[in-house]
Structures are given as C-alpha cells and as structure tokens.
Amino acid sequence: MKNAIIGKKIGMTQIFDESGKVIPVTVIEAGPCVVVQKKTMENDGYEALQVGFGDLKPNKVNKPQKGHFAKGDVAPKKTLKEFRYDDCSVLNVGDIIKADTFAAGDMVDVTGTSKGKGYAGTIKRYGNASLKASHGTGPVARHAGSMSGCSDPSRIFKGKKMPGHMGAETVTVQNLEVVKVDAENNLIALKGAVPGPKHGIVTVINSVKKA
C-alpha cells in the first residue's frame, strides 16, 4: 500500500472533461488526517500507522483514549484506522496526510458501510423471482417458495438465501479513478458510486487489483 486516507462522503455530482463528456463523480472530503500511532517491528511485530480523522471534543473522550492521544501529542479524533504502508518510515506521529496524497488518474479502492435497509425479504435482499399474483399461488406472492425436500434432505442447508437484515455491512468498491483533487479544500472526486450514505466514513487506498 503506497497511499491511504480516511474521508467523509459528501455526495454525488457530475463534471465535464476536456471533450465535454459528462463524468459522474462522488465527492469525498479526504482528510486532513493525522498519524496518531506508529507500530514498529520491535514493539508490535509488524509495521503500520494508525491514522485519525475528524475532530472530537475533549469531553467526549474517556481516560484510556485521552492517554492514547496524549502519548502521541495529538488532538482527539473521531475515527481511527490502521494502514500498513510499504514504507512506514516516511511518516511519523503528528504528521498530516492531506488529499494531495492522491493525484488525478490514480486508481483506488474505497471501503465504506452500506446503507442499512432493515429487515427485508428474499426478493429485495437477493433479487429472487416472485410467484404469480393469481391462479392459486396465494395468499402471498413475495415469499421465498419451497425451502427443501420433505423426505430428503429433510432440512434446510446452511447458506440458504433467507429473509433477514439487509445492508449496514462493510463494502469495498475496487478500481475507481481519481478524476480531480482539490488540495486546498481537501476534496477528492472519484468516478462512479461509493458505498454508504452521505457523511458516511470511507477509506481510500491504492488499488490492490488494478483493472
């Protein structure tokens, strides 16, 4: 991993390229993030950087957290994430990571928490086909249908697509192109959609599998 940053999803809009073509983009408020802790091979067995994003009032921080931030001499942060950089020696505790860590044309992976949909049936949750709405299939047309055979296997297999809680889970979208970077306002415009609602926290890192 070369670059990584924590951000907040602002929303979607569109911009135009040099030829006048419309590009749908998601705008992310990326940083500024601060390095809160540095994991080393001697102390932790691996190298990584803990990065903080979003200011937090001091009265919202408990004693263990206060000690953690005081050790690094940084202000309390709402969100903490750990990233394993290829070379952690380039950054130290207290250093600031800004949106210009990425440039237009870079390919990135974005991870966020998808919108919660609550309890949903199999048709909405998995896209199953509904039954006919007439001719003896009632009284319900939007249920899952037969679960399994009555004599064999006489049970429902694990992993069966059933009704349940939908959304509110970690989702990663790979290979999104960085269209524009506004370093002054800490904004990054990514081509396409990003998981999560507006103002949801996301992480942006270099693509693992480049298309």
Question: Whose structure tokens read 């929303």?
Answer: 11
SS3 content of the chain, % helix, strand, coil (to 5): 15, 40, 45
Amino acid 93: pLDDT: 85
**Mean pLDDT of the region 183-207:** 92
Amino acid 139: pLDDT: 81
Report the share of the chain in percent with pLDDT over 70: 99
Considering only CA atoms, which of 177, 48, 158, 168 is closest in space to residue 110?
A: 177
CA-based radius of gyration for the chain: 23
pTM score: 0.82
**Mean pLDDT of the region 27-38:** 89
Ramachandran angles phi, psi of 43, nearest 5°: -90, -35
What domains sit in the chain, N to C, each tagged with a CATH number?
A: 4-115+170-206 (2.40.30.10), 117-166 (4.10.960.10)
pLDDT at position 70 over 90: no
Tens-digit pLDDT profile for residues 114-150: 999 999 999 999 998 888 888 877 788 888 777 888 8
CA distance 86 to 47: 9
pLDDT at position 29 over 70: yes
Amino acid 148: pLDDT: 80
Considering only CA atoms, which of 207, 201, 210, 182 is closest in space to residue 13?
A: 182
pLDDT at position 108 over 90: yes
Amino acid 172: pLDDT: 94
Residue 127: its H or E element:
none
Q: Do residues 102 and 3 make contact, with C-beta atoms less than 8 angstroms apart? A: yes
pLDDT at position 111 over 70: yes
CA distance 124 to 22: 31
Tens-digit pLDDT profile for residues 72-86: 888 888 889 998 888
